[in-house]
Structure 1
Amino acid sequence: ARELTDRQIYFRDRDRNGRPTVRHDAKASTASHHVGLAAGSSPQQTAGSSHHRRGSGSGSGSETGTAPQYAPARMIEQGVDEILHLKMLESIVDSETPSTIVLATGDAAQAEYSPGFMAMVERALKKGWKVELVSWSKNISGMYRKPEWLATWGSMFRVVFLDDYAEELLEM
């Protein structure tokens, strides 16, 4: 499943002359914030296979002509975060010697099925890993800035603010 880009949403809601269109269906107001899946398919099936698209393929026809089901974009993001939590733990467990984890997020909140990035960072630090947290200064949780937390980990934990590199990043 993939989320619609802002560009796709913009053009989806415009007619051929570029004027905004009025959408009367119930899903119109929520569709721009959701990810579409063909009914009865998984994201893996939908992403690369053309037989789930309307009017193509020779399948049973149960998917043909059905409206997509929408999953909230927030749920998709939650799933991505939890996969990253697991991948971090895999790296920590599978490596013989601790190294450095570079984590690009400012999120410290708990996830639905895991304790969140903050807990994963603490686990890594307890196992002797160094952690570099990369984030914009406005998007970083205050949990990562608490003086007592920073003092506990000393040079093992470092925050790299993207603000310092904004000019270079925007030139690309």
Structure 2
Amino acid sequence: MIGHSGIHIGFARACQPLPIDAPVALTLRAQHRRAMTSWTDTLSWLARLAFWPALIFALVMAVLPKPPQVPGMDLGDKVQHMLAFFTLAVLAGTGWPRASLVKAALWLSLVGAGIEVVQAIPVLHRDSDWRDWVADTLAIVVAMMPVLAFRHVSRKA
């Protein structure tokens, strides 16, 4: 159909969004929100479930006189500390999304300091190094970035 100006009027109508009833649109939005909430709740639950075994594993490996080494993964002591505490911080931050990140970071940093105190016990034949605690704390701080992103997404859900 050609209008007064010679422009095809049918094209303008085709570009308009299809009319959707308000209740249908609200239902679709609610379903999307429920799916997102379900996804973030499931991820939080899995993180809580994984946190405790990960913490126990990290503590046991920290106090073993000669912890086993993964073949081909000689990353060095500082990198192992950082990987462990990055993982713990991500699990804690996503597992308890309403908890204070500052408190979680402080508690995890305190765990790292405690490990260094325990490693100073001569019978364990481990080396205590304050720089390991600094590496732990740095990894915790870096881990807060993905945790903040997760919390932002879960808040929008």
TM-score scaled by length of structure 2: 0.35
Structure with bigger RCO (C-alpha 8 Å, 6+ apart): 2
Greater share of helix residues, 1 or 2? 2
- Mark the structure with the bigger radius of gyration: 2
Q: Which has the higher strand share?
A: 1
